[in-house]
Structure 1
């Protein structure tokens, strides 16, 4: 059943994608002066084969539980990609995970596993991207200025919050704007699944106030399923590092996942990671 948060997500997502759509792709470049970019509601409704009244109610959050056929038609008219289509279906039907009464602790054996990954910068994260565990190399790479025990207390650091509000974390990325968009887009995608989590809603509210950059990007409704790729760093201790990353979801199905980052073997980044790892050895 769709709740108010899902309705807000659906309305905002539809408006953002309609504003970003190219009218000429529907053969409507000359239908009068456009006061705002993108498609008009009547153009999108016609292209999707739905009534203007129904689409307007859908975009305003007044129509609930639209059929998959209607959503597919709207997705085709908006030329959404596969991830955006899945996101549209999810927020429209309200398939959100049940609310968590308390933040689950990281299993001890997962923490042990992270410590055994000596050549990989590893972090365990919650659905709202709280860092709930890391190994020594993960800490040295991502947040050496924070207490190594920070993930294991009552208020673990949040990776998205650090990206937008912590100067040391922000300066770590050579392409900060790209990373910022990716972080918000990933949070949007996960938020459709875990919309009822209070920590996620609180994070969005706090960052919308604390960071103009976050508020701007959140309002644009980017959506990305971020599972692998490359990250470009400039680390204060070892300089430029290019790392591959993989996201692995834990089998409990509660949204917790591992972020694993590693260098190409034999590369200058691999050498830099070895130097960084050696700096974490305390004897």
Structure 2
């Protein structure tokens, strides 16, 4: 029987999945007393005993951590594990938040601040008249498409494309993924990014009930679940995606589109994503 992650146990499952996947990426230290150069290594990367040795903690203690049975390691132990697994800055932040007894809750801004923030982002957008596409992204990962050109790119051939929708739904729902798979050439990488954004929402306790419900339902999809259980966080900043666009001759062409993300000072919950 397939085990479906329950988001009510998110921190426990995420700690277990995160530690397990990260150690598989690291080559074992040949100097470790736990290293067996001739034994049958049935798993990629480091074994649990090798991580425990590198972090200078007991094997039993590390096993409890990786199984999600202990969610309160000391700062020194946590730092030792971070070093042993050679984590990136974002991975370090994500793991630290998972072990927080009470993850920081970001208070929602009021209606006036949200309105002012939107006006600020609209002003910023006006300085990029030649932008390929733009959209507003809020804390619940809802997309607001402010112009017809952006809607036409994300929903090619759909004259009744919505002006607002969930980014998660756009990428994964049966209704919309026919479009996202066509638009994003590297769809699987984009899908992993979106899942990474959700992981950061959950670990900082800012995910709405609607977003949690959507993800819980999607976890029944094996393809979504496979990406989800990698526990790779993501922070939306800048980058480049290959986008399939309709050209002047009405044929589709693939274009490299760098994008930048701008957050509003009045309301960090909202950001403008502009594809150049």
Q: Answer yes or no: same fold by TM over 0.5.
A: yes
User: Which residue of structure 2 lines up, in the alignment, with residue 232 of structure 1?
Assistant: 242
- How much has 1:69 moved relative to structure 2? 1.9
Aligned residues: 254
Is 1:11 paired with 2:19?
Answer: no
Q: Residues 81-113 of structure 1: CA distance to partner in whole angstroms, max 9, x if unpaired?
A: 11111111111114242587x999962635754
Contiguous gaps of at least 5 residues in structure 1: 152-156, 263-283
Q: Which residue of 2 aligns with 1:58?
A: 65
Match of 2:260 in 1: 246
Separation of aligned partners in 2, 1:123 and 1:26: 51
User: Which residue of the partner structure matches residue 134 of structure 2?
Assistant: 122
SS of aligned partner of 2:254 = strand
Moved more, 171-180 or 16-25: 16-25
Distance across 1 between alignment mates of 2:218 and 2:111: 20
Q: Does the 8 Å contact 1:96/1:196 carry over to 2?
A: no
Q: Which region of structure 1 is more displaced relative to structure 2, 115-124 or 222-231?
A: 115-124
Aligned pairs (5 A) from 1:106-145: 107=115, 109=119, 112-113=122-123, 116=126, 118-120=129-131, 121-144=133-156, 145=158
Q: Structure 1 residue 78: deviation in Å?
A: 0.8
Partner of 1:197: 208
Aligned counterpart, 2:3 = none
Which of 138, 157, 163 pairs up with 2:171? 163
Superposition RMSD on alpha carbons, in Å? 3.2
The structure 1 residue matched to 2:272, chosen from 254, 258, 264, is 258
Query: How many Å separate the matches in 1 of 2:104 and 2:38?
Result: 40
Match of 2:185 in 1: 174
Deviations 1:201-239 (A, max 9, x none): 223212222x43221111111233331011111124552
CA contact under 8 A between 2:106 and 2:204: conserved in structure 1? no
Q: Contact 1:6/1:195 (CA < 8 Å) preserved in 2?
A: no
- Of the two structures, which has the highest relative contact order with CA contacts closer than 8 Å and spacing of 6 or more? 2
2:54 maps to which residue? 47
